DNA sequence: TGGTATAGTATCCTAAACGATACCACGAAG
DNA sequence: CTTCGTGGTATCGTTTAGGATACTATACCA
């Protein structure tokens, strides 16, 4: 990384950021293939507009595949592309650090409480 | 990751996202310690307000350390905390994927151009 | 004839991120 | 007595992300 600008990090983060993208990716990782309505059911608070928008961005970046069945009512299935699956280890790394971070914050809070209580002890 | 919700990914991404945070982290990784004004010189397009804001957020999350020297004119030095350094391998992973992604996009474009030219050949 | 389900669009609005610019305190140097 | 450099704040405006809501096409089913 030393000789490359940070823009590769930013390139990757552009694909991952977006309020719903990690959740969508997780769903597709664990369920393999999901219809639009199934995704929506798994993500109770997302609006249709956002789900469409985030899926379109992921599709543009070749992360997810969109399979349309010409039936009525419509049936559209989403899944990770092979290329999209190369993101999985990266997501694991990010997730693992996130877990460590939650622990770290908890430790910091404990320290503060200890300090606070010991401070109140001395008063 | 299968049993944990994607929120740990989101937790981690919250710390990394922000228009300037990857660049700031890269500077601190490669230069170890930098004054406020040095950081600003390395990041020509950042405003003072944004640099301050992003550094404060990183400091709150215990990623960077802020050392104030009580002199005039002021001297403030920023560096990664030991904990902040645990982000380095994660950043490397993200960066490596970002590099692959740039290649991937280039290949897709080449394919499209080939398709386009072969299509124009057949006309 | 009218209701239902699916996978969307279209329109409008709010909130948050980001940016431009001006201002400040302080002591040292001239 | 003024100017300079540093590391900031404060204020305002713009731009972008996200959200709420309403609307659509279509075939099937009753």
User: Which residues of chain A lie closer than 8 angstroms to B59, CB-CB?
Assistant: none
A74 sits within 7 Å of strand C by its CB: yes
Judge whether residue A80 has pLDDT over 60: yes
Sign of the Cα torsion A43, A61, A74, A47 reads positive
Q: Any chain A CB within 8 A of the CB of B30? A: yes
Judge whether residue A82 has pLDDT over 60: yes
**Least confident window among A46-55, A110-119, B24-33, B52-61:** A110-119
Judge whether residue B121 has pLDDT over 50: no
Q: What's the pLDDT at A121?
A: 42
Q: Which two tokens stand for residue A104?
A: 């770290």
Average pLDDT rounded to a whole number, residues A35-59: 97
Separation between Cα atoms, residue B123 and residue B119, nearest integer Å: 7
Average pLDDT rounded to a whole number, residues A59-65: 97
Q: What is the CATH number of domain A1-81?
A: 1.10.10.10
Average pLDDT rounded to a whole number, residues A70-83: 97
Residue nearest to nucleotide D16 (CA to C1'): A18
| Residues A21, A12 contacting (CB under 8 angstroms) | no
pLDDT-derived band at A5, boundaries 50, 70, 90 = low
Q: What is the pLDDT of residues B33-81, one digit of tens each?
A: 999 999 999 999 999 999 999 999 999 999 999 999 999 999 999 999 9
Say whether A25 and B10 touch across the interface (CB within 8 A).
no
Separation between Cα atoms, residue A26 and residue A91, nearest integer Å: 9
Q: What's the pLDDT at A117?
A: 60
B1-83 belongs to which CATH class? mainly alpha
Share of chain A above pLDDT 90, in %: 78
| Residues A61, A13 contacting (CB under 8 angstroms) | no
pLDDT-derived band at B117, boundaries 50, 70, 90 = low
Ordered by start, the domain boundaries in chain A are 1-81, 86-123
Q: What's the pLDDT at B122?
A: 36
pLDDT-derived band at A41, boundaries 50, 70, 90 = very high
């Amino acid at each position: 990384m030393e000789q490359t600008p940070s823009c590769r990090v930013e390139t990757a983060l552009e694909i991952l950021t977006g309020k719903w993208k990690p959740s969508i990716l997780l769903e597709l990782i664990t369920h393999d293939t999901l219809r639009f309505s199934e995704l929506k059911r798994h993500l109770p608070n997302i609006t249709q507009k956002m789900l469409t928008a985030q899926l379109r961005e992921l599709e543009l970046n070749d992360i997810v595949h969109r399979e349309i069945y010409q039936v009525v009512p419509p049936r559209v299935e989403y899944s990770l592309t092979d290329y999209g699956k190369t993101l999985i280890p990266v997501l694991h790394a990010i997730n693992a650090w996130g877990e460590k971070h939650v622990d770290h914050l908890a430790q910091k809070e404990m320290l503060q409480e200890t300090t606070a209580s010991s401070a109140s002890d001395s008063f």
